[in-house]
Amino acid sequence: MSDFTMPSLGADMERGTVLEWLVAPGDVVHKGDPMAVVDTSKAAVEVETFADGVVVDLVVRVGSEVPVGTVLAHLGPVGAAAPAPAPEPAPEPEPTPEPAEVAAQEPAATTGHQPVVHSPLARRRARELGVDLASVAGTGPGGEITREDVEAAAPAAPPTPSTVPEAAPATTPAARGAGRPRVTPYARKLAREMGVDPAAVTPHDGETVRASDVRAAAIAAPAPAAQAPPPPAPPPGAPPPTGAPRPTAAATRAQTMRETIARLMARSKREIPHYYLTTTVDLTDALAWMREQNAGLPIAERLVPAALLLRATALATARHPALNGFWVDDAFVPGSGVHLGVAVSLRGGGLVAPAIHDADRLTVTETMAAMRDLVTRARAGRLRGSEMADPTLTVTNLGEQGVESVYGVIYPPQVALVGFGRVVERPWSVDGLLGVRPLTTLTLAADHRATDGFTGGRFLATIDDLLQHPEEL
């Protein structure tokens, strides 16, 4: 089987029109026999075949203008039985929006047949438009499937919604796919090295993920997956870092973590103008309510005071969004949700602050479960990459270590850190009466670039207020 193609009848000829077919399917032709008359836009020229054979079918109909190299007819070997009813080169019923220059191939002819697509653009468009390339008739040289062919085929095969960007911003080419922000090559490389999923990084300019955004994301995960022990499996889509040393001994691990903490904390104190606020919260009502709840709960689900404090912090954070987010490149970037980082100290030293995602939408019981789960897995070294990635505000509770208050160092690029001290019983005056009450010291370390003490003060007052009405938590 050989192809009879549109010849180039002059150096400047790019396309030609079939004016007349001089053969019909079933005809036996010999090398040198004229097959068709072709208009080169300068002259009508008879075009001969260079091969012997039997005309199997005529692919291009009279009047069609096609590029040089397009298959015009197929020739079969001489002696082979002429194919039964060869498809007429008449217009096919299949509607195509573009001027149908080439009769569409019979689907039967293409099955079991690899589509000819060399153009990455055509492949990408096919993917975007949900077009099956095997079903597309190519009009390019040698039946090559072009972008136009793919786009012409698209209406017949409606795209699957998931593959089409819903409402790509006008400024970004629709081809960017799924409306995801673009990532610079360096940012992509850096993300791989740091074990960050670039798709999960929020670009500070809303359009392009740059190296600074990746660094911010990596730092937001206080013990980056690449360096710190927690997730034995890197986040999905992030191959294991190549540059980072793979610590084997626990000592190395602890040292790496120490270095990470050192770097972060030094940066925090160097860059962030901290301000500190303190208030003492009376937990009488909160703890009474908690005991009441616990009476009806199985032991495994019982609440601890920290759950109430976390819950109150989450709600207050949602009400004071200025404290929830990041300071990046001289501007505050609000967090995409309330993701509370919970500082967990690890056995053998070091600490991590994985996130409880959307903590403001959990009930107290769910908060308790999330906290218990997180602490257990953090200490077992089984945190997930996503948990490490994006706390928007961190809470530290050194109360269980017996301290009364903690003035924390903010995790950059976050802008606030809330600390809870030990619950202690102290003489406390309420409405002029002195009593012994359970109290905790609530502290806030906040970035003065992002907020002022006024905002911080209201935030602490909100937490206090919420803890006075535990039934509403």
Partner 1 sequence: MTATMVKTTYREALREAIREALQRDERVFLMGEDVGAYGGCFGVSLGLLEDFGPERIRDTPLSESAFVGAGIGAAIGGLRPIVEVMTVNFSLLALDQIMNTAASLQHMSGGQYAVPLVIRMTTGAGRQLAAQHSHSLEGWYAHIPGLRIVTPATLEDARGMLWTALEDPDPVLVFEHGSLYNLAGEIAADAGPVDLDHAAVRRPGDDLTLITYGGTLGRTLEAAEELAGAGVSAEVVDLRTLRPLDDATYLGSVTRTHRAVIVDEGWRSGSLSAELSARITEQAFYDLDAPVERVCTEEVPIPYAQHLEEEALPQVRDIVAAAHRTLGEQP
Binding region for partner 1 (CB under 8 A): 184-189, 204-205, 208, 210-211, 329
**Termini Cα distance of the chain:** 79
Nearer to partner 1, 32 or 185 (CB): 185
Nearer to partner 1, 117 or 183 (CB): 183
Please check whether residue 312 is in contact with residue 467, taking contact to mean a CB–CB distance below 8 angstroms: yes
CB of 146 to partner 1, least distance (A): 27
Nearer to partner 1, 12 or 330 (CB): 330
B/e letters for 278-292, b = 16+ CB within 10 Å, e = fewer, are eebbbbbebbebbee
Please tell me the distance from the alpha carbon of residue 198 to that of residue 190, in angstroms, as a whole number. 9
CB of 211 to partner 1, least distance (A): 5
177: left (phi over 0), alpha (psi -120 to 50) or beta: left
Distance of CA 139 to the CA centre of its chain: 36
Nearer to partner 1, 212 or 345 (CB): 212
- Three-state DSSP at 84 gives coil
CB of 210 to partner 1, least distance (A): 5
* Ramachandran angles phi, psi of 407, nearest 5°: -100, 100
- Two tokens, residue 419: 């600390």
CB of 328 to partner 1, least distance (A): 11
CB of 376 to partner 1, least distance (A): 39
CB of 102 to partner 1, least distance (A): 37
Please tell me the distance from the alpha carbon of residue 311 to that of residue 360, in angstroms, as a whole number. 7
Nearer to partner 1, 115 or 181 (CB): 181
Crossing angle for the helix pair 453-468 and 284-295, to the nearest 10 degrees:
40
Nearer to partner 1, 204 or 253 (CB): 204
For residue 353, the number of C-alpha atoms closer than 13 Å in the C-beta half-sphere is 29
Nearer to partner 1, 21 or 332 (CB): 332
CB of 415 to partner 1, least distance (A): 20
Type of residue at 294? N
CB of 184 to partner 1, least distance (A): 5
Nearer to partner 1, 14 or 329 (CB): 329
Please spell the DSSP secondary structure of 148-211, one letter per residue.
Answer: HHHHHHTTTSPPPGGGS-SS--TTS-GGG-TTPPEE-HHHHHHHHHHT--GGGPPPTTSSEE-H
Nearer to partner 1, 71 or 191 (CB): 191
Please check whether residue 256 is in contact with residue 262, taking contact to mean a CB–CB distance below 8 angstroms: no
Q: Are strands 393-397 and 416-420 parallel, antiparallel or unpaired?
A: parallel
Please tell me the distance from the alpha carbon of residue 416 to that of residue 228, in angstroms, as a whole number. 23
Please tell me the distance from the alpha carbon of residue 108 to that of residue 128, in angstroms, as a whole number. 25
Name the DSSP letter for residue 292: H
Nearer to partner 1, 135 or 184 (CB): 184
Please check whether residue 139 is in contact with residue 151, taking contact to mean a CB–CB distance below 8 angstroms: no
Please tell me the distance from the alpha carbon of residue 160 to that of residue 174, in angstroms, as a whole number. 15
CB of 452 to partner 1, least distance (A): 23
Nearer to partner 1, 93 or 185 (CB): 185
Q: Are strands 208-209 and 182-183 parallel, antiparallel or unpaired?
A: parallel
DSSP H helix total and E strand total for the chain:
11, 21
Please check whether residue 93 is in contact with residue 116, taking contact to mean a CB–CB distance below 8 angstroms: no
